[in-house]
């Protein structure tokens, strides 16, 4: 596991959850001596216009729904990290959730590789949240696409997330 992921996975999730449950923008600089090297070898179509861009230093791209406050986040990391275990990467994204329940774990073909879709729910400060985490390794890079929101609003825009994931291409 890279030092960036180990020390910052909790903070990333916490910041993502803050974005998901607030209407204000937050700009936070994560303190780490390791720099994440994002991939430049992917493309995607912008998500449905209901998702508005969030400016952040901790993700490649992030969006928040103007109707549900659900969020979508793309994080890539390349370099000497090698191919990491997909399950380990997914579990890091759930590290801030209390009472974690994995609802689904499915291996899927994706961009010529094996990908993992993990859906889980848990609580943050007594609020039940649900997350879908897609992870894939390709050409020395790890890619994670996350969709999250309050449990009761999660299903409302999951089809928009699935469309985004289907249009996400890794060269």
Q: For the full predicted model, state whether its pTM sits above 0.85.
A: no
Pairing label, strands 98-110, 71-78:
unpaired
CATH assignment at residue 136: 3.40.1000.10
63-108 pLDDT, tens digit each = 999 999 999 999 988 877 666 789 988 888 888 888 999 999 999 9
* pLDDT grade for 18, boundaries at 50, 70 and 90: very low
60-74 pLDDT, tens digit each = 999 999 999 999 999
The domain tally of the chain equals 1
Partnered with residue 131 across adjacent β-strands are: 120, 148
What sign for the dihedral angle of Cα 99, 97, 165, 26? positive
Structural domain boundaries, residue 165:
3-170
What's the rounded Cα separation, in Å, for the pair 121 and 151?
A: 7
């Amino acid at each position: 596991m890279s030092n960036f992921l180990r020390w910052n996975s909790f903070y990333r999730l916490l910041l993502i959850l803050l974005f998901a449950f607030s209407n204000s923008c937050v700009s936070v600089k994560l303190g780490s001596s390791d720099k994440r090297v994002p991939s430049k070898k992917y493309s995607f179509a912008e998500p449905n216009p209901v998702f508005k861009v969030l400016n952040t230093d901790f993700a490649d791209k992030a969006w928040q729904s103007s109707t549900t406050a659900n969020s979508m986040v793309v994080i890539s990391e390349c370099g000497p990290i090698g191919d990491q275990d997909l399950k380990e990467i997914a579990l890091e994204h759930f590290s801030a959730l209390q009472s974690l329940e994995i609802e689904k774990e499915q291996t899927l073909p994706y961009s010529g590789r094996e990908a993992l879709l993990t859906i889980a729910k848990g609580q943050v400060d007594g609020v039940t949240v649900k997350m879908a985490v897609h992870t894939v390794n390709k050409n020395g890079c790890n890619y994670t696409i996350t969709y999250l929101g309050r449990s009761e609003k999660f299903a409302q825009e999951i089809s928009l997330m699935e469309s985004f994931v289907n249009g996400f291409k890794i060269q």
